[in-house]
Amino acid sequence: MADLLIVDDELSMREFLHVFFTKDGHVVRTAASVPQAQKFCLESTPDLVLTDLRLPEQSGMDLLRWLRQECPDTQIIMMTAFASTETAIEAMRLGAYDYQIKPFKVEELRVVTEKALEKLTLIKTNKNLTEQLQGQFSLSKLKSKSAKMAEIIDLIERIAPTQVNVLIEGESGTGKELVARTIHEHSKQSDSPFIALNCAALPEHLIESELFGHEAGSFTGATGAKQGLFEAAHGGTLLLDEIGEMPLNIQAKLLRVLQEKKIRRIGEQVEKDVDVRIVAATNKQLKNLVSENLFREDLYYRLNVVKIQLPPLRERPEDIPLLAEIFLDRYSKQMQCEGKTFSPQALAVLMEYDFPGNVRELQNCIERSIALSTTDELTLKELPEEISRNDNDSTNRLLVLHSENFSLENRLNELEKYFISQAIERSGGVKTRAAKLLGITFRTLRYRLQKLDLE
């Protein structure tokens, strides 16, 4: 059974073919003009279109061209009373399956139709096979081709609908926040809020009031009462990002909330019930922080009911071209310059590079390259220096001890500048991320930027 569309301006012909093909068990729609046919095709793609050549306004040939663009798999058979070899050849050239001259023998029409439908089945099977071979795994925005990520996607699908707490570990830019959002999206609470707190971005006393809220006047600066993030996320998911940076004092309070499922605003006596799923993320190995007594072991076990360890991009190079294409598509749409492709050399260099800033670095790099490019091809020229360079001249220069005016102090400053500006560029100018890449705190980075006059 197939979905057929008959296009003919003659009512009797439409009726006849409708009855004829319906008897064969097909679902048949009929249209009297090209615009009407197009409307039907957009509503649902037909398997086969039988169209008259001469139609009012636009012709069957126009419809054929349009279908090749909009419904490339749909098979097309042309019908006409005015045969000429040229139109026949033209229709076939444009991709019609066959050409029938009116008045046609119905038996012949039936055979041609069945053959065209067989061709469609082949095309579809082939497509499915190719998709399976390419093996793309994806959960909403989370895309990957790698076996490791396939396991993670599978795990996310299984645990998302449960209420368990999840710990996500992975280097900066590997997709921890995206995974956290995906878990929320696939949970039973996806209609409730998803709220994220970056524990590294706030001083201790603010983390506490952010999380639990406070009453008016409970500390200096607390002018009005404030609802905490636990209350705001009630019924939904709370992402505690950079959980490794959470001060020990707050860790103790967090543990209490997780055990008792109750919170109390700072300066308040009454407790409120809260029901929140916690997803924690960190670019450190939390277990190591536990052994260094920087993270509470009991809290670690509360958070780490399920662990997701995100592999760095360099350990899944097969994702580089896939993600590069996805970002190319996304940003060229945004910048209204669709149709760009990567030169083979540019792709090869991207795959060789080790991406210390992971997916985010790749993303920034593609966005920047598109903005810089003036042609339809993205080449080595548009890639950032650190990716495209083969020779290390500029870095080597920093490492030579020469006798003229050498100053260790100046040289170390230059090296520091070199790494800091690289980190800032890679993190798209976001200083908290740059600090993470450098393995220093945001405060240290700010101090060094001032010292080196890089602000």
Could you list the residues that contact ligand ATP (CB under 6 A)?
A: 141-144, 170, 172-178, 283, 323, 359-360, 363, 433
Rounded to the nearest 5 degrees, what angle is found at the Cα of 425, between the Cα atoms of 353 and 179?
70
Distance of CA 187 to the CA centre of its chain: 19
Which residue number is nearest to Mg ion in terms of Cβ?
177
Contacts of 122 (CB under 8 A, 6+ apart): none
Min CB(326)–ligand ATP separation in Å: 6
What span, in angstroms and rounded, lies between the C-alpha atoms of 22 and 3? 10
| C-beta separation of 63 from 34 below 8 A | yes
Which region holds residue 4: left if phi is over 0, alpha if psi is between -120 and 50, else beta? beta
Indicate which of Mg ion, ligand ATP, none lies near residue 142 (CB less than 5 to 8 Å, by partner kind): ligand ATP
179 close to 308: Cβ distance less than 8 angstroms: yes
Nearer to ligand ATP, 196 or 380 (CB): 196
CB of 242 to Mg ion, least distance (A): 8
Query: CB of 335: closest distance to Mg ion in angstroms?
Result: 25
Residue 62 lies near Mg ion (rule: CB under 5 A): no
Backbone angles phi, psi at 358, to 5 degrees: 55, -145
Nearer to Mg ion, 49 or 239 (CB): 239
In degrees, rounded to 5, the angle at the alpha carbon of residue 303 between the alpha carbons of residues 299 and 305 is: 125
What is the closest distance, in whole angstroms, from the C-beta atom of residue 33 to Mg ion in the complex?
A: 54
Q: Does 177 bind Mg ion (CB under 5 A)?
A: yes
Which residue from 422, 316, 414 is spatially nearest to 365, judged by alpha carbons?
422
Contact segment (CB under 5 A) with Mg ion among 87-95, 144-152, 175-183, 211-219 equals 175-183
Q: How many CB atoms lie within 10 A of CB 121?
A: 11
Q: Cβ of residue 237: shortest distance to ligand ATP, in angstroms?
A: 15
Beta carbon nearer to Mg ion, 413 or 432: 432
In this chain, which residue has its C-beta nearest to ligand ATP? 175
In whole angstroms, the minimum distance from the beta carbon of 155 to ligand ATP comes to 14
284 part of the interface to Mg ion, by CB under 5 A: no
Closer of 142 and 255 to ligand ATP (Cβ): 142
386 binds Mg ion (CB under 5 A): no
Question: Among residues 239 and 266, whose Cβ is nearest to Mg ion?
Answer: 239
Angle, CA of 384, 376 and 426, to the nearest 5° = 20
What does DSSP assign to residue 283?
S
Which residue number, 154 or 298, has a Cβ lying nearer to ligand ATP?
154
- What DSSP element (H or E) covers 61? helix 60-70
With CB cut-offs between 5 and 8 Å by kind, which of Mg ion, ligand ATP, none does residue 214 bind? none
Q: What is the CB-side half-sphere exposure of residue 291 using CA atoms within 13 A?
A: 4
Tell the smallest beta-carbon distance from residue 415 to ligand ATP (Å): 24
CB nearer to Mg ion: give 412 or 430: 430
Site residues, Mg ion (CB under 5 A): 176-177
